[in-house]
Amino acid sequence: MTECVPEQAHRQYRNPRVRGNEREDGVPGEQELKTHHSRFRYVLEWVVTLDTAVPDAVNYRSMPRVSNYVFFLGGRLRTVSNTSAHSVLVLTLLVVPAVLFSIFEAQMLWKFGSGHGTLVVLFYYSWAVCLASFIRSATSDPGVLPRNLHVPTVCNDFELPREYYNMITLPSAHPEGRTVNLKYCTTCRIWRPPRASHCPSCDACVMTHDHHCIWINNCVGQRNYRYFLTFLTSSVVSAILCIIGCAIHVSKVSHLRSTVVAILLIVYCVLIMCYPLILLLFHIFATSSQQTTHEFLRNLTSKKAILHSFSSSRTNPFDRGSRARNMLSLACQPRGVSVMSAREKHPTGDWRFLNLPQQHSFEKI
Amino acid sequence: MDSTLASSSSRKDLEVSASKQALFFNYHEFSVTRYIDIGDTQETEHTDDQALCITHFPNVYCALGSLQFRETRLVRIPRRFEFHVDIPEFSTQLPGQEPAALVNSATNKRFVARGIYQGQVYGLSSVSPLSGHLSDAEFQEIVETVNAFLRQAYTCTSKQNFVNAVLDTLTFHLWNVMAIRMFKSPLLALEDYVRVLNASPWFYERKLRLISPRRSGYLSVC
């Protein structure tokens, strides 16, 4: 058998930026691309980068082709395409009560004096933290892992050996000798580290993947988990402060007619805080039992066993032995640096931006 | 009598559990039985005990089909979890010396070519050609330095991590934007170390390169 010649056999997987062969293949070169794509289109693609954007040396222009991410403002913000824009609804639900509070309640409370001003300041502060956390968790990198790092061979359509379909069990640092399991992602072509998983909505592997949240339209993973928890906490706190402020207003006025907005805000905040509060309680119990949402759902044996599942599994190698330490290790996990930064540049022919053929094997073990 | 039986059975259980105990190996490796023997021209099927162990891989850090791609290969050093499960740490043992590596007593931990698979030369054991370029001590020193940077960056109980988390939350997540400009992350210091190491005569003359751990997602070093 002769040596594999991938550049001939797999021309269709070549990165469009490999200039050396572009002219040979009949694909326009960089100079020609500049004439074809006007500056206006470039600016437009800087504002919103879809998978139709011309791939460039900057990562955000090439990433939409290998994932479902859409970037805004030169890769500074991101969201996931082909999903319902629930995050816009959440943003509206956040902004509307703050606007109503500012117009009808803030001034009134401030005038009451004796500590009521502090309440107003605290509300605005917690609301600002909530908004900032929402934006950060919804639009930042959740910890996407690069693709095609562990390609074993380029021959036979980048075939995968049988061993790469196995679940690998390795020893861990746990004092009771618990093991960690590793799996090869056949889509991203990497040996996924423990706790990472492939998100079908984002079409990417995410480090310490918690879940894909439809309300922020982004994955919650190692790099934005703390933002997500802050978002939940601050939304509950700001709703409580709003309820207290409005309740004071209602209690100090004799005519209820002048407090219609205050009553409306109380009802709205009570209803709206239920979901983040339940979710926050869930995350407190899940993290204290050293589980991500993904692991919790995987370990859930039946719907009736929800409460039983809030205890750490006997095979969990990440268990620290105490609920507080477990919670701390997940809620405060270091973010590290982005390993697929949208704003960094990549050289020509970078494998991370190639779409290699999907493997079809019936030999899964 | 009973106690003796009990102790002997528990010893047996221990032995069984010891034999079932997971051992570390380089999970990037795989075996092939159909290959060309050295000095031969035809590809033939071999028995399982004569399977080639694939220990080096195509260089995915340069363009497919480029000259560098044809001239270079990757030896992947996997992550290990025996010391920390939630901190990326790499194996400090050269491929072929891990507890569950495929060994060949005849070759004495040296890379000995046995066959050709897809135009590349491989041996029967887990020992990679990297063993001919770096000694155990040199390799260990490099990987331990890399691991030290990673430990510094990914320890969640570090004071720096707590202070950053609190300040970041209190400042509407603006602290992080300033902090990355004010303080150097150990992960960026690691990138500097890799750059210096690759430019050093030690690596340059041996035609070795350490791939940036950040570029490889902290999943493997090569």
Chain A window 121-160: which residues touch B at a Cβ cutoff of 8 Å?
128-129, 132-133, 136, 145-146, 148-155
Which stretches of chain A drop beneath a pLDDT of 70? 1-37, 304, 306-308, 360-365
B153 touches chain A (CB under 8 A): yes
Cβ of B36 within 8 Å of Cβ of A1? The answer is: yes
- Structural domain contains residue A83: yes
Q: Give the per-residue pLDDT at A32.
A: 56
Neighbouring C-beta atoms of residue A214, cutoff 10 Å: 15
- Structural domain contains residue A103: yes
Q: B1 to chain A nearest CA, in Å?
A: 30
Q: B101 to chain A nearest CA, in Å?
A: 13
Burial (CB count within 10 angstroms: exposed 0-12, middle 13-18, buried 19+), residue A111: exposed
* A351: closest chain B residue by CA: B60
- Structural domain contains residue A109: yes
Chain B partners within 8 Å of A361 (Cβ): none
Cβ of B81 within 8 Å of Cβ of A194? The answer is: yes
Chain B window 52-111: which residues touch A at a Cβ cutoff of 8 Å?
54, 57-58, 60-66, 76, 78-86, 88
Cβ of A161 within 8 Å of Cβ of B32? The answer is: yes
- Structural domain contains residue A9: no
Contact A335, A223 (CB under 8 A): yes
- Structural domain contains residue B15: no
- Structural domain contains residue B91: yes
- Structural domain contains residue A27: no
How far apart are alpha carbons A50 and A64 in whole angstroms? 6
Catalytic annotation, residues of A: 213
With a threshold of 0.90, tell me whether the complex ipTM lies above it: no
Mutate to test the interface with B, among A4, A149, A231 (most CBs of B within 10 A): A149
- Structural domain contains residue B2: no
Residue A144's identity, in one-letter code, is V
What domain range is B205 assigned to? Answer: 22-221
A175 touches chain B (CB under 8 A): no
Q: Closest to B84 (Cβ–Cβ): which among A133, A173, A336? A: A173
Q: Give the per-residue pLDDT at A41.
A: 87
- Structural domain contains residue B187: yes
Q: B80 to chain A nearest CA, in Å?
A: 8
A172 touches chain B (CB under 8 A): yes
Cβ of A1 within 8 Å of Cβ of B66? The answer is: no
Count the domains in chain A. 1
Q: A339 to chain B nearest CA, in Å?
A: 5
Cβ of A349 within 8 Å of Cβ of B64? The answer is: yes
Q: Give the per-residue pLDDT at A188.
A: 95
Cβ of B216 within 8 Å of Cβ of A348? The answer is: no
A4 touches chain B (CB under 8 A): yes
Q: Give the per-residue pLDDT at A37.
A: 60
Q: What separation in angstroms does the CA of B216 have from each of A133, A195, B220?
A: 29, 17, 6
Chain A partners within 8 Å of B88 (Cβ): 193
Q: Give the per-residue pLDDT at A34.
A: 57
Burial B138-171 (b: 16+ CB within 10 A, else e): ebeebbeebbebbbbbbbbebeebeebbeebbee
Q: What separation in angstroms does the CA of A208 have from each of A19, A143, A165, A311, A312?
A: 37, 8, 21, 19, 17
- Structural domain contains residue B143: yes
What's the pTM value of the predicted model, to 2 decimals?
0.88
**Count of alpha carbons within 13 angstroms of residue A283, beta-carbon side:** 22
CA A127 to chain centre: 21
Which stretches of chain B drop beneath a pLDDT of 50? 1-16
- Structural domain contains residue A287: yes
- Structural domain contains residue A168: yes
Neighbouring C-beta atoms of residue B131, cutoff 10 Å: 19
What domain range is A64 assigned to? Answer: 47-353
Q: Give the per-residue pLDDT at A4.
A: 64
Cβ of A349 within 8 Å of Cβ of B66? The answer is: yes
* B25: closest chain A residue by CA: A170
Q: A251 to chain B nearest CA, in Å?
A: 32
Q: Give the per-residue pLDDT at A256.
A: 77
- Structural domain contains residue B3: no
Decide: helix, strand or coil at residue A169.
Answer: strand
A324 touches chain B (CB under 8 A): no
Q: Closest to A163 (Cβ–Cβ): which among B30, B170, B220? A: B30
Chain A partners within 8 Å of B33 (Cβ): none
Hunting for tokens 């260990």 — which residue is that?
B140
How far apart are alpha carbons B202 and A290 in whole angstroms? 44
Instruction: Give the model confidence (pLDDT) of B160-209 as tens digits.
Output: 999 999 999 999 999 998 998 999 999 999 999 999 999 999 899 999 99
Q: Give the per-residue pLDDT at A36.
A: 59
DSSP A109: H
Mutate to test the interface with B, among A66, A140, A162, A170 (most CBs of B within 10 A): A170
Neighbouring C-beta atoms of residue B203, cutoff 10 Å: 18
Count the domains in chain B. 1
